[in-house]
Amino acid sequence: MRIVIQNRSQLPIYQQIIDQIQAAILSGDLQPGTLLPSIRGLAKDLQISVITTTRAYHDLEQAGLVQNVQGKGTYVQAQDPALLREQTLRQVEAGLQAALDAAKIGQIPPATVHEMLDSLIAAGGDDHD
Amino acid sequence: MTERLNVLGLAKTYPEFALGPLTFDLPAGYIMGLIGPNGAGKTTTLRLLLDMAQPSAGEFTLNGAQTADARQQARDDLGAMLDSTTLPDVWTVKDIDDNMHRLFRRWDSQQFMELVAQFDINPKTMYRRLSKGTQNKVNLAVALSHHAKLLILDEPMAGLDPIARDELRQLLQAYIQAGDASVLLSSHLTDDLAQFADYLLYLIHGEQRFFGETDTLLNRYLLVQGGSSELTAALEDHGLGLRQTSVGFSLLLPTTDQALAAGLVTSTPDLDTLMIYLGKRGEDHA
């Protein structure tokens, strides 16, 4: 399991943990049933406060991504494919909305945005993440 | 949840200085940072908690002991290091190790000698011949070597280079990992603290400005920056620690007033920045 914390990021540390664990679960890198590091162990490993890791795990549990089993630890939950697709669609929509907002500020006409999207799709869309 | 410290209205009045009333608690298994500018009352607070000074008002429970007598009985459970802590002048590390058995039932020779090696302390040098910084490391090693349930440490990071600070941070995080022991430490190295302290107690001029989770303090304010013409009367009124230069201004704005900063550059302040703006003389509310 890989978690990288950036201290100078404007993103709060607990959010960085949530994002990375969520991405690993949704991509399948973390399989259902996987035991995550303990809250206290993770805090020590990342040199951050226990409250920060507690909050990250709590939010992941609220989102249905992990489950805390009292006295045993925190496990990755099996994900509902329809829910996953819904979340992915929302991410795509947010990205497209950001592109449209930028286009509006720069007065780029919608036709040009369409062309750019088409050429990105034609290029395979995999040259960056 | 077991509490290592429970402090209620604790105050100390000197002719020239008043501290408190302080009210806070520290649950078992967490780290609390005590922060504030020089003269804020940090060391006085720690001395009160160590029963080295009598409070003028208030009370506190430490490791479950409510009175000074009970706390004296439970002295084993408390590990302390203050700048004023001293050991007999002629003792070497070996003498300290030999004698601490009598003071502390759970004295851990192996742990102590490991820390002495890790802190690079010459075990053959008499205490009085050690530099002040090394004496502090000896005191810190003692505090960490008797399986205390609460550590009270005054500026343990002071005088340490970045590598030693990192090692100490790891030691303290390992110390609380099992969830039973807690650490209360004062420090000026607030960026360090902001990262690994679960709770903060923030004092200015003897007054408790904040107690709570570290993130709560950091999220309470926004750092707002803009050009001179963008400084409105409302911003000046609600902002704290206003700084103005020929090219613009900056101030701290309570997050609840963030609508006033629409269109300006805002960011979450780090703890140093927060303390600089809040500590600016003439500012009166936190």
Tell me if B173 and A44 make a contact (CB, 8 A cut-off).
Answer: yes
CB B23 within 8 A of CB B10: yes
B215 CB neighbours in chain A (<8 A) are 12, 14, 51-52, 55
Q: How far apart, in whole angstroms, are the C-alpha atoms of residue B97 and residue B105?
A: 13
> Is B284 a domain residue?
no
Q: Do A48 and B196 touch (CB under 8 A)?
A: yes
What SS3 class is residue A39?
helix
Query: What local confidence, expressed as pLDDT, does residue B6 receive?
Result: 95
For helices A13-26 and A81-105, the axis angle rounded to 10 degrees is 120
pLDDT value of position A15? 93
Q: If you compute the radius of gyration of chain A from its CA atoms, what whole number of angstroms results?
A: 18
Closest CA to B28 of B61, B73, B66: B61
Q: What is the mean pLDDT of residues B206-226?
A: 92
Distance from CA of B188 to the nearest CA of A (A): 18
**Boundaries of domain holding A29:** 13-76
Record: contact A43-B173, CB cut-off 8 A: yes
pLDDT the model gives residue A80: 77
Confidence of residue B281 (pLDDT cuts 50, 70, 90): low
Q: What is the pLDDT of residue A125?
A: 54
Q: Are B68 and B51 in contact (CB under 8 A)?
A: yes
Q: Is the residue at A48 inside a domain?
A: yes
Amino acid code (one letter) for B37: P
Contact B203, B45 (CB under 8 A): yes
Confidence band of B186 (pLDDT split at 50, 70, 90): very high
Is A74 near chain B, with CB under 8 Å? Answer: no
At B2, the pLDDT band (50, 70, 90 cuts) reads confident
Same domain, B188 and B240: no
Is residue A41 included in any domain, yes or no? yes
Percent of chain B's residues with pLDDT above 90: 59
Q: How far is the alpha carbon of A85 from chain B, nearest alpha carbon, in Å?
A: 33
pLDDT of residue B49: 95
Q: How many domains does chain A have?
A: 2
Last residue of a domain, one of B201, B217, B233: B217
Residue A52, number of CB atoms within 10 A of its CB: 26
Is A18 a residue whose pLDDT tops 90? yes
Q: Are residues B187 and B253 in the same domain?
A: no
Pair B123, B241 in one domain: no
Strand ranges, E, within B63-218: 78-81, 150-154, 182-186, 199-204, 207-213
Does any domain span residue A1?
no
Range B118-141 average pLDDT: 90
Does residue B98 share a domain with residue B18? yes
Chain A positions touching B267 (Cβ under 8 A) are 10
State which residues form the domain around B106. 3-217
Mean pLDDT of B186-207: 91
A47: nearest CB among B177, B196, B213:
B196
Per-residue pLDDT reduced to its tens digit, A81-128: 777 788 788 989 999 999 999 999 889 998 999 999 999 998 875 555
Cα–Cα distances (Å) from B5 to A93, A118, B193, in that order, read 49, 63, 19
Nearest residue to B243 (alpha-carbon basis) of B255, B226, B256, B260? B226
Q: Are strands B31-35 and B182-186 parallel, antiparallel or unpaired?
A: parallel
Within this chain, do residues B243 and B198 fall inside the same structural domain, yes or no? no
What's the Rg (C-alpha) of chain B? Answer: 21
Q: Domain check: are A85 and A72 in the same one?
A: no
Which pLDDT does position B263 carry in this prediction? 84
A70 & A85 share domain = no
Edge-to-edge strand list for the sheet holding B17-27: B17-27, B3-14, B57-62
- Yes or no, beta carbons of B195 and A50 under 8 Å apart: no
Q: How many domains does one find in chain B?
A: 2
Given this model, what pLDDT does residue B126 score? 92
Task: Supply the mean pLDDT for chain B.
Answer: 90
Structure confidence at residue B1 (pLDDT): 64
Q: What is the rounded distance in angstroms from the CA atom of residue A95 to the CA atom of residue A75?
A: 30
pLDDT of residue B284: 47
Is B283 within the bounds of a domain? no
Same domain, B196 and B161: yes
Task: For residue A14, give the chain B residue with the closest CA.
Answer: B215
B47-84, pLDDT tens digit by residue? 999 999 999 999 999 998 999 999 888 888 999 998 87
The pLDDT confidence band at residue B286, using thresholds 50, 70 and 90, is very low
- Which residues touch A24 (CB under 8 Å, ≥6 apart)? A1, A2, A30
Residue B285 placed within a domain: no
Q: pLDDT for A38-56, tens place per residue?
A: 999 999 999 999 999 999 9
Instruction: Say which CATH number the domain at B149 has.
Output: 3.40.50.300
B127 and B206 fall within a common domain: yes
Given a cut of 50, is residue B283 above it in pLDDT?
no
So what's the pLDDT on residue A129? 47
> Rounded to whole angstroms, how far apart are CA atoms B249 and A6?
28
Q: Are residues A59 and A72 in the same domain?
A: yes
* CATH number of the domain to which A50 belongs: 1.10.10.10
Does the pLDDT value for residue A31 go beyond 70?
Answer: yes
Residue B16 pLDDT > 60, yes or no? yes
pLDDT at B285: 46
**Spatial distance between the Cα atoms of B216 and A5, rounded to a whole number of angstroms:** 20
Whether B28 has a pLDDT exceeding 90, the answer reads yes
Q: Which of B198, B195, B97, B179 is nearest to B138 (CA)?
A: B97
Interface predicted TM-score (ipTM) of this complex, two decimals: 0.79
Please give the distance of CA B56 from its chain centroid, rounded to a whole number. 22
Query: Would you give the distance in Å from CA B43 to the centre of its chain?
Result: 9
Interval A5-14: pLDDT, tens: 887 777 889 9
Band of pLDDT at residue B252, cut at 50, 70 and 90: very high
